[in-house]
């Protein structure tokens, strides 16, 4: 399969027409080999316009949603980023292409370990992964210039607001367990400004400042 051609087609047909126009973001999505992060049985669907299962009842997000979140983070090469929900590690690789350092937290150990191995194999040296509850953030390396949450939150977790730098930007899906609104949170003079991007569907953010396992599993 010509993945390179499929990747270019994904950028041209799924990202550009929907308003992804930041050249650096488009370049990162043209470069990162998504097929390396997708389970072997789903390779043929790698560049399709929908999320895919990565095991453990989790997903790798639709390329467009990953690009929309990335564009709205307005990344700069020197940024230190906190990502919550490493999943396959694909979005982590995109962030690593566009910033100085990415700290990523994943609650499911097997996923975190797989992603860590893959990112190392691909030569990313500016990524650190922690197994834990990302609703608590990652205090040790805070504050962060940018925070990206890739699971659906009940509300914006307070530790994440506290670990975001002044003038920092956070992109986070907030709402119900199975349908949310993608929000951009900006911290300015200790005030929080929030804008809504669009409706989205993410797996739930489970943790102390997120959903409980009981709420999600019924
Ligand atoms: N961005 C990922 C990728 O490119 O593959 C997809 C992320 S997937 C939609 C959401 C991830 O968030 C899942 O792997 C899930 O286990 C994780 N997650 C849910 N709650 C979490 C929490 N409190 N802390 C860390 N990770 C969490």
Q: Reply yes or no: is the peptide bond before residue 139 cis, omega within 30 of 0.
A: no
Span from the CA of 86 to the centroid of ligand 1 (angstroms): 5
Whether the CB of 84 sits within 6 Å of ligand 1: yes
Q: What is the C-alpha separation between 18 and 167, in angstroms, rounded? A: 27
Output the CA 50–ligand 1 centroid distance in Å.
16
- What pLDDT does 76 receive? 97
Q: Ligand 1, closest atom to CA 87?
A: 14
What is the rounded CA–CA span in Å between residue 160 and residue 182? 16
Q: Please report the atom of ligand 1 found closest to the CA of residue 115.
A: 5
* Cα-to-centroid distance, 206 and ligand 1 (Å): 9
* Atom of ligand 1 lying closest to residue 60 CA: 5
* CB of 115 sitting under 6 A from ligand 1: no
Mark out the alpha helices in the chain (DSSP H runs).
3-10, 23-31, 63-72, 90-98, 109-121, 158-162, 213-217
- Residue 133, pLDDT score: 98
Q: Architecture of 3-217 per CATH?
A: 3-Layer(aba) Sandwich (3.40)
Is 85 a pocket residue for ligand 1 (Cβ < 6 Å)? yes
What pLDDT does residue 183 have? 98
Residue 104 beta carbon below 6 angstroms from any ligand 1 atom? no
pLDDT value of residue 178: 83
* Whole-number pLDDT of residue 49: 96
Q: What is the model's pLDDT at position 9?
A: 97
For the chain (218 residues), the mean pLDDT of every run of 10, in chain order, is: 95 98 98 96 95 94 97 98 98 98 98 98 98 98 98 97 97 94 93 94 96 88
Per-residue model confidence (pLDDT) at position 217: 83
Distance CA 137, CA 143 (A): 10
Nearest protein Cα to ligand 1, atom 27:
85
60 lines ligand 1 (CB under 6 A): yes
Active site residues: 61
How does DSSP assign 15-60, residue by residue? IGGGT---HHHHHHHHHS-GGGGS-GGGGGGTTSSS-EEEETTEEE
**What does the alpha-carbon distance between residue 78 and residue 158 come to, in Å, rounded to a whole number?**
25
Query: Which residues, including other chains, have CB under 8 Å from residue 79's CB and lie 6 or more apart?
Result: 98, 99, 100, 145, 146
Ligand 1: which of 35, 56, 86 to mutate, most ligand atoms within 8 Å of CB? 86
Stated pTM of the model = 0.97
Q: What are the backbone dihedrals phi and psi of residue 11, each rounded to the nearest 5 degrees, phi first?
A: -65, -45
Q: Determine whether the shortest distance from the Cβ of 52 to ligand 1 is under 6 A.
A: no
| Cα(48)–Cα(25) distance, integer angstroms | 18
Quick check: 146 and 75 in contact, CB under 8 A? yes
Q: Round to whole Å and give the CA distance between 99 and 74.
A: 10
Backbone angles phi, psi at 210, to 5 degrees: -130, -145
């Amino acid at each position: 399969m010509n993945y390179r051609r499929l990747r270019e087609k994904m950028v041209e047909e799924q990202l550009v027409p929907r308003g992804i126009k930041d050249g650096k973001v488009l370049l990162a999505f043209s470069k990162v080999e998504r097929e390396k992060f997708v389970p072997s049985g789903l390779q043929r669907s790698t560049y399709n316009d929908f999320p895919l299962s990565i095991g453990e009842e989790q997903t790798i997000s639709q390329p467009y949603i990953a690009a929309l979140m990335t564009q709205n983070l307005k990344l700069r090469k020197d940024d230190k980023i906190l990502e919550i929900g490493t999943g396959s590690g694909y979005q982590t690789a995109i962030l690593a292409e566009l910033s100085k350092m990415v700290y990523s937290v994943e609650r499911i150990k097997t996923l975190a370990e797989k992603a860590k191995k893959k990112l190392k194999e691909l030569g990313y040296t500016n990524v650190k992964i922690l197994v834990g509850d990302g609703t608590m953030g990652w205090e040790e390396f805070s504050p962060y210039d940018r925070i990206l949450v890739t699971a659906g939150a009940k509300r914006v977790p307070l530790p994440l607001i506290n670990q975001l730098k002044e003038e920092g930007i956070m992109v986070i899906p907030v709402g119900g367990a199975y349908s949310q609104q993608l929000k951009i949170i900006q911290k300015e003079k200790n005030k929080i400004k929030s804008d809504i991007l669009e409706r989205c569907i993410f797996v739930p953010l489970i943790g102390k400042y997120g959903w409980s396992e009981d709420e999600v599993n019924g």
